[in-house]
Amino acid sequence: MMIDTHCHLDLVAKKKNLHQVLKEAKRAEVRAMIVPGINVNNWPEIEQLAHEHSDVYFALGFHPLFIEENCKQGAEQLLERIPLALASKKCVAIGECGLDFYFGREQESQQKMLLAEQVRIANQFQLPVILHCRKAHQDMISLLKQHRPLYGGVIHGFSGSYQQAMDYVMLGLKIGIGGVITYERARKTRTTIAALPLESLVLETDAPDMPLSGYQGQINEPKMVNMVLSSLIVLRNENEQTVTSQLWKNSKSTFNFCDIN
Ligand SMILES: [Zn+2]
């Protein structure tokens, strides 16, 4: 049994038959899927998805590449929306929020401000955070040391060094493992993941993006999380049952799922 802790089902639905995607996820023993918020525009859609499907959950937040012009206004919109979202019992985190300097640092200060705000809001509502980070691990780690997420969370789609991963683990965060580990050439990330404490790992697909090795050019979907798990088992050279049940526990406790077994 698995949880896909990060999949953009709202985007998958634009490319594939969602009914079929969810059926196949169920067949692959994916018991829950978490759909992250990108900005105010996708919030109603993902709330609706979670409302319609018992195994779909969501997070509310601002992706660093889609930050609002006015960060203050963004934080206010989030604060306004959360009580209602929490009442549905399907809102399980704040995110995805973070830093993304892939296209440069022009928005560095806005990104940092909005990330700090979102961590503050997550703490206020006792929620974990779903963190996105590209080309910014050092900035992210120092920001999180100052604005500590008190209720844990996940650094999603992790690829980086062992030291960076352990810095996140020391901050109480889980490391989100996706399709990148299925690529032989991702040597650094594979070595890192193999060495991290098993208690610090959770699974994800980041569907519809991040296709697995051998599936390049195809639309990724939550059922593939079982192949990420298979890769992880091979990589860690540990008992299949041990890895599967520990990862199940990790994701359940991170997102406080009490209603699924
Ligand atoms: Zn994402």
Q: Given pLDDT bands bounded at 50, 70 and 90, which one contains residue 71?
A: confident
Asked if residue 68 has pLDDT above 90, the reply is: no
Asked if residue 82 has pLDDT above 70, the reply is: yes
pLDDT digits (tens, 9 = 90+) for 185-213: 999 999 999 999 999 999 999 999 999 99
- Mean pLDDT for 228-257 is 95
In 3-state terms, what secondary structure has residue 6?
coil
Asked if residue 39 has pLDDT above 70, the reply is: yes
pLDDT digits (tens, 9 = 90+) for 42-55: 999 999 999 999 99
pLDDT of residue 23: 98
CA distance 12 to 36: 13
pLDDT of residue 73: 80
Asked if residue 182 has pLDDT above 70, the reply is: yes
Distance 107 CA to ligand 1 centre (A): 19
Binding-site annotation, residues for a divalent metal cation: 6, 8, 96, 132, 156, 206
Question: What's the Cα-to-Cα distance from 32 to each of 5, 41, 154, 220, rounded to whole Å?
Answer: 8, 23, 16, 16
pLDDT of residue 121: 96
Q: Which fold has domain 2-254?
A: TIM Barrel (3.20.20)
Distance 132 CA to ligand 1 centre (A): 7
Distance 33 CA to ligand 1 centre (A): 13
Asked if residue 69 has pLDDT above 70, the reply is: no
- Mean pLDDT for 82-98 is 93
Distance 36 CA to ligand 1 centre (A): 6
- Classify residue 98 as left (phi > 0), alpha (psi -120 to 50) or beta: left
Q: Distance of alpha carbon 139 from its chain centroid, rounded?
A: 19
pLDDT of residue 240: 95
Q: Given pLDDT bands bounded at 50, 70 and 90, which one contains residue 168?
A: very high
Distance 66 CA to ligand 1 centre (A): 12
Give residue limits of the domains in the chain: 2-254
pLDDT, the chain, mean: 94
Binding-site annotation, residues: 6, 8, 96, 132, 156, 206
Distance 207 CA to ligand 1 centre (A): 8
CA distance 61 to 238: 36
Distance 96 CA to ligand 1 centre (A): 7
Q: What is the DSSP letter of 212?
A: P
CA distance 159 to 225: 17
Distance 11 CA to ligand 1 centre (A): 10
Distance 42 CA to ligand 1 centre (A): 12
Distance 195 CA to ligand 1 centre (A): 25
